[in-house]
Amino acid sequence: MAETNASHFKFAVTSSPESWELALGDVQHVDPTARILETVGPGIFVVQSQESQPTLSSSLRTSGVFVRHLFPVLVTVDLTGGEEDVRAIAAASLALQEHMARSQNFSVQTRVLSSRAYGNYDVNTAVADLFVQHGYILDVRRPQRVISIVCTETSALLGASAVIII
């Protein structure tokens, strides 16, 4: 599980690969103390910020240009590269329930960044099926909440957030 300092938040940020430095600049414009913790793939990096997700997203919506998607990293899962990763990610995703309401429909968005025995669809389906079994309503066209997952070589970063178009 990912730990979060009460005064710092951890976010995965996506941008076009050639604009990641400008996207980081957008984040640092909102929070000058924000710092990059890790680059996880082309145009995808993790930052630490003192700003909350609603504050950061709202500010980026009005002043950001290069950030495509931002989600709080709430859970981290170690990966082996095998099919068992999908079950581990789905099981760990249940920790996100505290950030979701059954009255709000949801969708799952996954990016698998390396060659695996599974792909985006496999992870999306496993997580969505599990949440539906727990009484949540899946709506991939008009979700109110999004479960976001990025799978790197060694770990999966999971988060849940309101749909906010940046």
pLDDT tens per residue, range 3-18: 444 468 999 999 999 9
Amino acid occupying residue 145:
R
Domain membership of residue 121 as a residue range: 75-162
For residue 2, is it within any domain?
Answer: no
Amino acid occupying residue 4:
T
Same-domain check for residues 88 and 141:
yes
Residue 1 has a pLDDT of 42
Question: Residue 163 — very low, low, confident or very high, per pLDDT cuts 50/70/90?
Answer: confident
Residue 3 has a pLDDT of 43
The model's pLDDT over 91-101, given as tens digits with 9 standing for 90+, comes to 999 999 999 99
Per the structure, the count of domains in the chain is 2
Buried b (16+ CB within 10 A) or exposed e, 68-101: ebbbbbbbbbebeeeeebbebbbebbeebeebbe
Domain boundary among 72, 96, 124: 72
Residue pair 138/125 in contact by the 8 Å Cβ criterion? no
Q: Say whether 30 sits in a helix, a strand or coil.
A: helix
Residue 51's domain is classified under what CATH number? 3.30.70.1650
Same-domain check for residues 35 and 66:
yes
The model's pLDDT over 93-136, given as tens digits with 9 standing for 90+, comes to 999 999 999 999 999 999 999 888 899 999 999 999 999 999 99
Mean pLDDT, all residues of the chain: 90
Same-domain check for residues 64 and 79:
no
For residue 1, is it within any domain?
Answer: no
